[in-house]
Structure 1
């Protein structure tokens, strides 16, 4: 059948997607005002067997180069698209032999082709400006967004294949009006398709050449969650109100604050305390409220000031928008300014940092390495020269340098510094944990005092140890970048450090099971998640019985020449420590940070156990309690309110808000209030850990029976996944996290090749592969199969 004689006349109301891929396109020919459809010829397998040369002759009328496309009956229906399962061939020459071979190859890809299975042929669209795929629903939540993935290189298969290319990914709310013409064209096409098919979920493929839009395919979009037939009007009203409040909040927060430096602010899920890594993009209310209570409401700012930085007391670090925790980046940047700098210079620095991140949004998960100057490092001179090029004068740069050197020197060399006091506070917390748990206090009182002690003796000192740990990593990394040490020295030093991960591995070899469980049993993969099982609840899963662990120990030693060079560099920079003192600090800071997390997480984990027990007494499950706000539980300690009524009310509100927020998509970095309506997904720059290179199968579950020898995919770089390293995994990929994250430190220490903070796009692409090659030395991931 040719393009001219194969059009079936149907009324607009009779158009259906319950047809083959070819028939759907054919029925749209001549009906669309917003897009064109390339001429096509299609035929069934039965027709091909009977009159193949007739169909080849018809196809040859279409153009000089052709595309032979699959149209199997099992494709593009409500049960699944089977996208990519069958062969389609591009750039087929317009000859009888080339077409015969190509058509046969496509039919062969169906396996046992049925009589009604089809192939269709179209002219090849040469060098389009955009080629892509678009949905009219966010597929995981069924949210009201257009989701667009487009390649700008003219590669007609890059988006669907997931190969390396210049891909733009967009989320556009249905009521938004993007400012790019090609996106407006797509939205107009969707509106027209809605008029033909109703507002059902659709998946289209498209191309744009010289501002002309071509529809290449349209099919049903199979969703993870089906849309309710009759949406609750009150829910719709609440959803729209939340969207409106988000935009108002962003506009209001973007103006100047009298107690903060900086003309504006940005919001991100990755900078500073990195909520995306620790509690996730859409945490449940209990995890979110615990994180705010223990760290980001006050503790973070208090300890930053104690370490010599600007006072940002009473400024909460997190702003929750549509259920997603965002860091107020202006407040964060203020907290990285040494408190000895004058206000005018602090203002200038904060604005510079904000403008840098706004212009280079891909740095949003690397702000402490690539945007702000928060401590001395061995590359500071070149960084200050960059500041001079951005309008800072020599006097200002000298003042910044003196402030950073003094701050860093105090942390490293002062034996009475906050850093050394913090280590002692962590030890004190261990004693207080035992006192509380052995007391006769009731569950509510125990929860209250565990939280209070955790803030004062746990997360407060941990915030300091984490700062010291970052300073340590930056000093070590800058020594490597400045050629004071080699990459081998860098790796060897980190391998020589003993943290919780290496202790768990060593203890697993020698310690009796009951003692092992007692020591590490409080850990859980989701540190703040009450639904996540503790190690002592599933010891067979978390404690490997394998004894053939790889020996990751490494001897670190520097030559006399290297030590002298480092001492000279320290002296030139006016630091009072020597190389030996420096390396001792780096080692103790990294180890103390990991130990601090290990100890304070026991208070947190025991708090979750008590909440579970409290809820169980009045009929609430773990899954229910995940929706409680911790402030409601803490309020019970000082009131006579009913625990049953308080929990019930908090759970109901928490569930309603959480469910509504699943359909709200926001970018990882918000630079403008309009980003809440439409945004382009950031091009991520993953962090590669170790210098290793491995090829291994992908594993997307954390089943202990399946992880050995695999590249493991987990969203967050949560240290509760320490148990993975006892199963001799081949590699690790996380969606969120940075070079200074817990799992990055652990992977480096244990010499496990890892990609930390791959970003949403690449994480999903790589996760869908069967086999990957991770080359950390070349900083590249290859999809093998």
Structure 2
């Protein structure tokens, strides 16, 4: 038996093998062994961490005399009477395969007999152990207050980031077993001082392990005790599909400096133009993370910016009574990630009747509140700043947030919000006024385009029409739908209506999702595709096929053997009693609303429908424009992939400089692709508050939005898996193009991004399907399980297997 039982601090550091090498010292590069061999090796030279006593059991020794082997371990004075028996198989922890979690480990072994059985069980978990296979026995760690896993490189890109998942408490398997909501902190390697205070004891250990292993990317399991001692349980190489970290690592500090410089320049520009906070988020307004992703390609980003976040975002709000922020772009690209300018967004939510000085006070107070609670970056209109007069605005917590306002200024602010809300909702009000223009969108939708013969001029004409006409109308409709949803939400929370009323209003609105589902059931294939074929999952992404390009990919009606999806319940409103309605009407009157429940209910259903209907209409022009761009590229031998790396500016330039179009496409595409690829490894927080956030940040565990009161337990599937029926489907980018999943009889769905009023939340209510919208970083954790139970009423997701 190869046996060692010692604490790292007891090792003789005078031995040449026990000395930490000098950076310039010529020594053999560090090599990893089994789990136990690597721990023994690093324990001999550790200064900033400890390795608990180690006993290594060879399978050959175990077969020869298991009783003697177990007794020798049990009698060792450094082995406490509560042990852990861990796998240390030769197949584990290599540089080509980790086999993490594949083999057995057993905790809390408290008797010799249990130790004997545990060692045998761990060996048997290897399948057919070889004579050289090992089992590792150690004492259980004591006085642990925090534990987790640290990686010294991004396993996906290989970029030099330190990524730490951790959980507070004595359970050292809380992170690896997924039994606890863990925290996550990320920093650029070398900037461990930017880790949160609770992880600071880990920083010297990480630096020392980097020196010991020669800077190889490693995966480290650790614990921190009440005295601040760092215990290392495991060090293994990070298995990567390609050695990209060697390429990315070179020049990465320069890339990070450029990202910081870009952010600082934007903040200075804001300050010069009266936008004084430094907050930028991926989800505070118009949700770019949800609609175009965290690292959109140049065409996708430039298209979304041109159509939505340059002008339309504020042009659509202004007629409803909000402050006109024309000239202040809403979205900026920082480190390859689209960020929303929070100062511009907050300013645009203030009624235009509010004096500028008071508006600045309101924005400053809301900005401070968001910086103090960044987990609400995707819920600022619910948790940070009111954008509509809701029945709860008289509650003390809202007044306490805006400390810069005097009582008179606060009262005036509420009065302006009330006037704006009344102006939107009342019959013949601002909402009805803007919706009169929907007929122009319907007329444009009916126009047919010859996509194959059209030129880039036709594409830019379509996009210009959307920018100036359709997108502002959509912005106004979306804002009106949000006003309706906000009031409904508060009425449900305060007991005036049941949550089921909201779901029934959504269903009775007969939004596009319900119409698509019904038409899918009734119409012939060609007729169905003529109406819905332009839709693509990824409205602004040229690389994603439309429904009519790959119908087999999206719809089950091409497979006669597949069962038809279940018909959704599209029943009428929940009937409120006369006394319920009278109670609501009295409440509305007391608040100062100039509308009753009947008018509000009509408005809410109309606005919810209009938001989806206008989106359906205008996205046809966007989809057609993308097809024209793709077809023009094909004429010059360029595929969709190449065209996706052009920007709209590149395309505009080609209209003015018409020579060598094919060369211009390839050169611009190749150049933009390089810039895009360079930004891919950059990790940034969901909310940027200062340049230091680019060096290190904590990943916010934003509270997911549970939609409906339903419960479902079902297998997990990804959106483009073949079999979705009866599954909980994970959808990365939740935009209208994913409506096709509702034709597959899904049991529920989970999205990474999105809020209570997002497109997919509306769909969930409309179909009565349980959903978790905006799961954030829990999305990646949950989708690794085979079966989940989603209890929306209890607001809980439980892994089953």
Question: Which TM-score tier does this pair reach, normalised by the shorter chain?
Answer: over 0.9
Q: Distance in 2 between matches of 1:636 and 1:220?
A: 48
Q: Distance in 2 between matches of 1:196 and 1:257?
A: 46
After TM superposition, the structure 1 = structure 2 runs for residues 352-367 of structure 1, keeping only pairs within 5 Å, are 352-367=365-380
Q: Which of residues 514, 522, 528 in structure 1 aligns to 2:540?
A: 528
SS in 2 for 1:610: helix
Worse-matched range after superposition: 638-647 or 269-278: 638-647
RMSD: 2.4
Q: Distance in 1 between matches of 2:600 and 2:86?
A: 64
**Equivalent residue for 2:320?**
307
**Equivalent residue for 1:107?**
123
- Is 1:47 aligned to residue 61 of structure 2? yes
Q: Which of residues 543, 568, 583 in structure 2 aligns to 1:551?
A: 568
Closer/same/farther in 2, CA of residues 532 and 388 from structure 1, 3 Å limit: closer
Q: Which of residues 501, 506, 510 in structure 2 aligns to 1:494?
A: 506
Contact kept? 2:80, 2:139, Cα under 8 Å:
yes
Closer/same/farther in 2, CA of residues 242 and 641 from structure 1, 3 Å limit: farther
Worse-matched range after superposition: 751-760 or 435-444: 435-444
Q: Distance in 2 between matches of 1:362 and 1:53?
A: 55
Closer/same/farther in 2, CA of residues 161 and 586 from structure 1, 3 Å limit: same
Closer/same/farther in 2, CA of residues 43 and 16 from structure 1, 3 Å limit: farther
Gaps of 5+ in 1: none
Worse-matched range after superposition: 724-733 or 536-545: 536-545
Q: Distance in 2 between matches of 1:257 and 1:439?
A: 41
| Per-residue deviation, 1:495 | 2.7
- Is 1:513 aligned to residue 513 of structure 2? no
Q: Distance in 2 between matches of 1:337 and 1:626?
A: 37
- Is 1:150 aligned to residue 178 of structure 2? no
Q: Which of residues 572, 577, 584 in structure 1 aligns to 2:590?
A: 572
**Equivalent residue for 2:283?**
270
Q: Distance in 2 between matches of 1:678 and 1:440?
A: 49
**Equivalent residue for 1:23?**
37
After TM superposition, the structure 1 = structure 2 runs for residues 620-631 of structure 1, keeping only pairs within 5 Å, are 620-631=638-649
Closer/same/farther in 2, CA of residues 416 and 782 from structure 1, 3 Å limit: closer
Worse-matched range after superposition: 666-675 or 11-20: 11-20
- Is 1:324 aligned to residue 337 of structure 2? yes
**Equivalent residue for 1:247?**
260
> What whole-Å deviation, never above 9, does each CA across 1:612-663 have from its counterpart, x for those lacking one?
0011111111111111111211233345454323322320122101110111
Contact kept? 2:536, 2:547, Cα under 8 Å:
yes
Q: Which of residues 121, 127, 137 in structure 1 aligns to 2:153?
A: 137
Worse-matched range after superposition: 428-437 or 20-29: 428-437
Q: Distance in 2 between matches of 1:754 and 1:415?
A: 35
**Equivalent residue for 1:681?**
699
Q: Which of residues 94, 100, 124 in structure 2 aligns to 1:83?
A: 100
**Equivalent residue for 1:408?**
421
Q: Which of residues 179, 186, 189 in structure 2 aligns to 1:163?
A: 179
Worse-matched range after superposition: 564-573 or 604-613: 564-573
Q: Distance in 2 between matches of 1:532 and 1:383?
A: 48
Contact kept? 1:688, 1:756, Cα under 8 Å:
yes
Task: Give aligned pairs, total.
Answer: 776
SS in 2 for 1:525: coil
Contact kept? 1:272, 1:368, Cα under 8 Å:
no
| Per-residue deviation, 1:493 | 2.4
- Is 1:537 aligned to residue 549 of structure 2? yes
**Equivalent residue for 2:578?**
560
| Per-residue deviation, 1:254 | 4.0
**Equivalent residue for 1:669?**
687
Contact kept? 2:36, 2:88, Cα under 8 Å:
yes
Contact kept? 1:436, 1:450, Cα under 8 Å:
no
Q: Distance in 2 between matches of 1:440 and 1:662?
A: 34
| Per-residue deviation, 1:259 | 7.2
| Per-residue deviation, 1:551 | 3.3
Worse-matched range after superposition: 595-604 or 192-201: 192-201
| Per-residue deviation, 1:267 | 0.9
Worse-matched range after superposition: 516-525 or 245-254: 245-254
Closer/same/farther in 2, CA of residues 478 and 259 from structure 1, 3 Å limit: farther
SS in 2 for 1:161: coil
TM-score (norm 2): 0.93
Contact kept? 2:291, 2:734, Cα under 8 Å:
yes
